[in-house]
Amino acid sequence: MVSFEEVQAAARQIAGVAHRTPVMTSRLLDAACGNQIFLKCENLQRVGAFKFRGATNAISRLSAAEKAAGVITHSSGNHAQAVALVSQLLGVKATIVMPNNAPALKLNATRDYGAAVVLYDPVTDVREAISQELAQRHGYVLIPPYNHPHIVAGQGTAGLELFEEVGSLDYLFVPCGGGGLLSGCALAAKHLAPGCRVIGVEPAAGDDATRSFYSGVLQTSHNPQTIADGARTGSLGDLTFAMIRHYVDEMLTVSDDDLVRTLAFVWTRLKLVVEPTGVLGLAALFNHRVALAGQRVGVILSGGNVDLVAAAGWLQTTRVSS
């Protein structure tokens, strides 16, 4: 598994390239959740998501020959943007395999960063197979969205920075899709605050990680229907599954209605632009899906690339009063 020293090395590798994002607090949020909340705002990271950390750590470590060959990845949007921008900064050709229902905001941004986009149908196609076939055909280097040591170590720097800034925490809530962010942050938490309980949160419609965690057997989800598009992953990877089983204390799920109620609060009361996947962890607290009171709680807000047109529809169809 990835070591804490690799997270520390990643922090040095990405320093000066990735932002050291702010930690924000709100007395109003504390009152709503009944705890003292510290928000690590990765929605303010470059490309609007934590994914820039892992992509920077992974691509910057490639050899000159690997960079010359070009890179490829598959992503619904945030990792796509991250790989595209890092590749642009390093002069590397990037090809991104994206679902044809990816949010237009993320699709357009990926293209604007200079990447070539290959669309696929998530109902009938398997994105990993498409990426592997293109990598073999063209000699591209595959940069996985989560199941890679350099990716996990890079994502763990978000947790590292949080603990460096606020000190020990009683709990840490982290969104979970493929598990890269959760794995890395849980690793950092257990080294910097051994008593901190780490809780991963994913959408109820795509609960493969939760089922995997409690069964001890890797489970899958096929094209889960949730507004948390960044968590529509088919399964954890073998690396992230092992690390989550080792370092995470609990897994929870939240509904799309939970996400919309949380988003409405974050947008209107905290004045933060966060996407549905980004508030998975906070939604568990805000909607009281776990019984906590009077604790120091860290929450990773993982991204801010929200589709504003879709957001208007969510607010109209969901009761948002808490």
77, 180, 206, 237: which one is catalytic? 206
Q: Which of 42, 161, 202, 258 is catalytic?
A: 202
Nearest to 147 by CA among 76, 7, 241: 241
- Phi first, then psi, for residue 122 (nearest 5°) are -65, -15
d(CA 97, CA 116): 9
Active-site entry in 302, 303, 304, 307? 302
Report residue 308 CA to chain centroid gap: 19
Given 6, 161, 207, 208, the catalytic residue: 208
Catalytic annotation present for 221: no
10 Å CB burial of residue 167 (0-12, 13-18, 19+) is: exposed
Q: Does 26 participate in catalysis according to the annotation?
A: no
From the list 6, 40, 42, 51, the catalytic residue is 51
3-state secondary structure of 309: helix
- What stretches of 100-243 adopt beta strand conformation (E)? 116-120, 141-142, 171-175, 197-203
Q: Is 202 annotated in the active site? A: yes
Burial (0-12, 13-18, 19+ Cβ within 10 Å), 40: buried
- Phi-psi group of 148: left, alpha or beta (phi > 0 → left; psi -120 to 50 → alpha; rest → beta): beta
Annotated catalytic residue 313: no
Q: What is the DSSP string of 205-224?
A: GG-HHHHHHHHSS----SS-
CA angle 288, 290, 294 (to 5 degrees): 80
Given 76, 183, 221, 235, which residue is catalytic?
76
For 36-58, the DSSP string reads: EEEEEEGGGSGGGBTHHHHHHHH
Question: Is position 206 annotated as part of the catalytic site?
Answer: yes
Cite the active site residues.
Answer: 51, 76, 202, 206, 208, 302
